Structure 1
């Protein structure tokens, strides 16, 4: 029973400490200076899968179109690089 009380108090302390620091960050935002670095531009996708994911996230294509494109990509990959099964001994 004592273990449960101590565990509950520890978890409550962690929650309070986390909430306190989050509220402090909201109340005291860091001043923005003119010398602050600009946020980096998102990297361009390096693969076709990455391009498709970006298009889905930006709403350029639907989920059904994404699934069909990935299916075609998998079929093309299977034709170009078939899996070789090792012979049974």
Structure 2
């Protein structure tokens, strides 16, 4: 999948409420606060079940907070696949 330009990224950001752009790393990130640590682990497990073998987000769990950072390593930046995953994660949390 092709790397998105900064203009394409800007156009896609509105589709993923709550996600922010890290312009230094050219990645998307969002932190979700769960009710407790076990709920944070369940969220990560639900997201992991949605992933394809070639798309692995960076996931950080701190207590009840889960931060997902998305980018496509093979493209060295953001692709449509990252925005699709951000939308899927948002659906799990809503």
Q: Same fold (TM over 0.5)?
A: no
Normalising by structure 2, we get a TM-score of 0.25
Higher relative contact order (CA 8 A, sep 6+): 2
Which protein has the larger Cα radius of gyration, Structure 1 or Structure 2? 1
| Structure with greater proportional strand content | 2
| Structure with greater proportional helix content | 1
